[in-house]
Structure 1
Amino acid sequence: MRIGLLGTGPWARRVHAPALAGHGELEFAGVWGRRASAAKDLAERHGTRPYDDADALLADVDAVAVALPPQVQADLAVRAARAGRHLLLDKPLAATVAQGRAVTEAVREGGVASVVFFTSRFRPEQEAWIAEQADQEGWFTARAQWLGAVFTRDSPYAASPWRREKGALWDVGPHALSVLLPVLGDVRRVAAAVHGPEDTVYVVLDHVGGATSTLTLSLTAPPAAAGTAVELRGESGVTLLPEASGDAVAAFGRAADALVASARSGRRHPCDASFGLRVTEILASAETLLAQDTD
């Protein structure tokens, strides 16, 4: 499968490009970016071709990986799917529900495979834990904490405009939902969403299976307090999401494996664009409640 990369930012440089270049079943066919010089540099680093025009890249590949802000990703994903190209996307799928629906419709109409890279779903230990808990019944409640310190001086993502605009809800909220939804079931309603310090938000979810969950999300936590924790409590007792081993490059390689398998078999992956849309809908509902939360 010939695959191109759309995007040249820190995530593309640190994760997408190395994973694609080292993947045994993919031919890394080229890079396009909004800055031609950055595309040239990244392409040269991995022995592939830079493209000045995104549609020219789409014409030369079977699939694309996208490492761009969600509002940009959604529009390009629609173009790629309509051109018959399989999609390896990042979270969040889109910046609005309307954009997310446009992507899923284009995927359906184009008959292409899609995988959204929710990192925990492609780390072996965490993937296995999620599957094991999903087989258990009687969950009563869960708490998820995704606390980052993104805007520090040494962070490669400190200058990310979309993260500053959309905040933790949209950046790390998708990770928390990708773990909770397979275990507790879909969200029946967002019961509450309120602001905390800086971009920190607290969200309470009511799940169709009867359980509730609470999310604490932040990109502005003190560095010493940063980290991730997910705890489930129910009839089976108490269990914690295991810490991940391996890096994001390896996890992204597994997401690429999933895309190849889905394209070959025609079977939808659990983290496809439709799942990405559902996550987007939940985030948008929480965002609406946050807009009503005033001091």
Structure 2
Amino acid sequence: MRIGLLGTGPWARMVHAPALSGHDELEFVGVWGRRADAAKELAGRHGTRAYDDVDALLAEVDAVAVALPPDVQADLAVRAARAGCHLLLDKPLAATVSQGRAVVEAAREAQVASVVFFTTRFQTGPESWIASQAGQEGWFTARAEWLGAVFTGDSPFADSPWRQEKGALWDVGPHALSVLLPVLGDVRRVAAAAHGPGDTVHVVLDHAGGASSTLTLSLTAPPAAAGAAVELRGTAGVTTLPESSEEAVASFARAADALLTAARTGRPHPCDAAFGLRVTEILAAAESLLAR
């Protein structure tokens, strides 16, 4: 599969480009970015071509990987789908529900495959745990904490304008939802949402399976308090999401594998654009409660 990369920021440099250039079943055709000099530098580092015109790159590839802010990603994903390109996207899918819906509709109309890179879902141990818990019944409550120190530590993402605007709800909220939804079922209602210190938010969800869950999300946690944890409680007892030492590059390569499989078979991956849209809808509902 011939694939191009849209984006040149820290995530593209740290994860996307190394995974694409090192993948045995992908031909890394080129890079496009909003800054031509950055695209040229990143392409040169991985022995590929920098494109000044995004449409020229889309015309040369079978798929694109996108490492851009969600509002920019959504618009370019629609454009890429209409050009017949399969989509390897990042979370969150879009900045608004209408943008996310446009991506899903464009992918459906063009009959292209899509995978959204929810990191935990492509880590071997956590994904196996999620599948195992999804097969259990009788879950009562769940607790998910995703506490980052992006704005309090030494993070390459601290200068990200969209993270500064949208905060933890939209940056790490998708990770928590990607774990809870396959286990507890869809969210019937966002029951409550409240602000905490910094950009911290607390969200209470009512799930279709009958369980409730609470989310604590932050990008402004003290570095010593940063980390992620998910705990499930039900008739089967108590279980927690296992930690993973898997590097993001390896996880992203597995997401690329998933895109290849979906493109070859025509069977949607569980983390496709439609799932990304559902996550976006839940985030938007929580954001609306917070605004009130």
For normalisation by structure 2, the TM-score amounts to: 0.99
Counterpart of 2:181 in structure 1 is 181
Instruction: Provide structure 2 residue ranges, at least 5 long, that are not aligned to the other structure.
Output: none
Counterpart of 1:48 in structure 2 is 48
Query: Could you tell me whether the CA contact under 8 Å between 2:153 and 2:222 is conserved in 1?
Result: no
Q: Answer yes or no: is 1:283 the counterpart of 2:283.
A: yes
What are the residue-to-residue correspondences of 1:197-216 with 2, within 5 Å?
A: 197-216=197-216
% identical equivalent positions:
82
Distance 2:144 2:113 in 1: 30
Which amino acid is 2:118 matched to?
F
Distance 1:120 1:237 in 2: 23
Which amino acid is 1:55 matched to?
D
Deviations 1:12-70 (A, max 9, x none): 00000000000010000000000000000000000000000111100000000000000
Distance 1:202 1:152 in 2: 19
Shift of 1:154: 2.3
- Report the secondary structure of 1:23's partner residue: coil
The count of residues paired between Structure 1 and Structure 2 equals 292
Shift of 1:245: 2.0
What are the residue-to-residue correspondences of 1:206-245 with 2, within 5 Å?
A: 206-245=206-245
Distance 2:60 2:121 in 1: 30
Distance 1:152 1:291 in 2: 24
Shift of 1:152: 3.7
Which amino acid is 1:23 matched to?
H
Superposition CA RMSD, Å: 0.5
- Report the secondary structure of 1:120's partner residue: helix
Distance 2:246 2:121 in 1: 13
Query: Could you tell me whether the CA contact under 8 Å between 2:140 and 2:211 is conserved in 1?
Result: yes
Which amino acid is 1:283 matched to?
L
Shift of 1:246: 1.4
Instruction: Provide structure 1 residue ranges, at least 5 long, that are not aligned to the other structure.
Output: none
Which amino acid is 1:285 matched to?
A
Q: Answer yes or no: is 1:70 the counterpart of 2:43.
A: no
Counterpart of 2:170 in structure 1 is 170
Segments of 4+ moved more than 2 angstroms? none
Distance 1:288 1:13 in 2: 34
Distance 2:44 2:82 in 1: 29
- Report the secondary structure of 1:60's partner residue: coil
Distance 2:139 2:152 in 1: 37
Distance 2:127 2:273 in 1: 18
Distance 2:201 2:105 in 1: 31
Shift of 1:153: 5.6
Distance 1:223 1:153 in 2: 6
Distance 2:51 2:98 in 1: 29
Deviations 1:87-130 (A, max 9, x none): 00000000000000000000000000000000000000000000
What are the residue-to-residue correspondences of 1:252-263 with 2, within 5 Å?
A: 252-263=252-263
Which amino acid is 2:187 matched to?
V
